[in-house]
Amino acid sequence: MSDLATALAHLRAGRPAEAERALRALLAVDPRQPQALHQLGLLARRAGQTQPALALLERAVAADPTSATALADLGNLRQESGALAAAVEAYRQAMALRPGWTAPAANLAAALIKLGRFAEALEALAPLLAQQPTHAHALAYRIQALWELGRDSEARHLQGLERLVFAEPLAAGVADRDLAAEIAAHPTLTQQADPTRRAVRSGAVTGNILAPPLGPATAAFLAALEALLADWIARLPTDPGHPWLAAKPVRWQLLGWGNLLRGAGHQAPHIHNLGWLSGVYYVAVPAEIRADDPDQGGWIRFGRPGYGLPTARPPETRALAPRQGQLFLFPSYLWHETLPFAGAGERISLAFDLQPAAR
């Protein structure tokens, strides 16, 4: 097996150290091997080494200027390093090499929004949304570009801050104290979540807590949630004029995770790029989080863009005070965050994504 094939096998198996050794052995023989440079750049990026990763991707593209995927990844690294105009150039070159390829369009739109080129961002998103009307990043970026261009009614219709954020009661039978204990004891709970992949800050988060084996309280929560969603989605209006409402799923799967936050702990503005519907259930809410708090400490807030996107116009937002046993449901493309609160209490929630499944 060649060094490149060996390295790729290690990558697929989740063995990055072994993959890096094989790739560097390949470069020792051929310093301009484009795929080795490309994969080493991605490994460096995953390790948080942006500048070394950028240098490796630049070398990969110089070695093979026809690689659309390397150019798209180079665009991502340029954007992360602040070279926005160069990032736009790399994305456009990548898409020109592969006509009809829309995968880089959302990242291209993000770079254009950061540059204040909002009309161009809408143009970049159009082919992607034609292929994937509920693409979460594309919808989030479209809303912001529309808002920045003063097309307020279109932005509000798509965003749906008032229309598409729902507070629902969960059926009795969910033992919140036992559910909180199962979240706190979950074997995947970590305080070292990758901040580039998870929104939690100064808190702890689990992996997929809805995957077997389930504790009894988690199993009861999942059963109650599945029953609620089956009825709720059936009653949700179908609106062909709105891409999210037009895409009501018939079948789905759920992915969920627990969040534990204290005081300064919070979640940065984010979206859920793999879901159609997202939700959060509040298992424990400390007394410090109050519905009459003018500072909205510990509340969930919708509408403020994240991921480093600047806002030329102040965004419209909606903040809601959580309480124990409360369930909020919202489209996965809607920006949301949690606000820090004062005090020593612990705020425990179980968040989830509903992902449409094939019929």
- Are 29 and 51 in contact by the 8 Å Cβ rule? The answer is no
pLDDT value, residue 194: 43
In angstroms, the Cα distances linking 115 to 106, 118, 119, 326 are 14, 8, 11, 39
Q: Which two tokens stand for residue 258?
A: 């627990």
Q: Which two tokens stand for residue 2?
A: 């060649």
Q: What DSSP string describes 132-158? A: -TT-HHHHHHHHHHHHHTT-HHHHHHH
Label the pairing between strands 200-205 and 252-270.
antiparallel
- Are 179 and 350 in contact by the 8 Å Cβ rule? The answer is yes
In this prediction, what percent of the chain has a pLDDT beyond 90? 81
Sign of CA dihedral 173, 282, 345, 196: positive
What CATH superfamily classification does 166-356 receive? q2cbj1_9rhob like domain (2.60.120.620)
Sign of CA dihedral 28, 29, 33, 38: negative
Q: Which two tokens stand for residue 17?
A: 């150290």
3-159 placed in CATH 3.10.180.10: no
Q: Which two tokens stand for residue 292?
A: 């009459």
- Are 38 and 57 in contact by the 8 Å Cβ rule? The answer is yes
Q: What is the pTM of this model?
A: 0.91
C-alpha closest to that of 35 among 69, 8, 60, 10: 60
Bridge partners of 320, per DSSP, are 300
DSSP state of 315: P
Cα 229 to Cα 310: distance, rounded to the nearest angstrom: 35
As annotated, the residues of the chain forming the CATH 2.60.120.620 domain(s) are 166-356
As annotated, the residues of the chain forming the CATH 1.25.40.10 domain(s) are 3-159
Cα 81 to Cα 79: distance, rounded to the nearest angstrom: 5
Give the residue ranges of the chain where pLDDT is below 50: 1, 193-201
pLDDT value, residue 324: 93
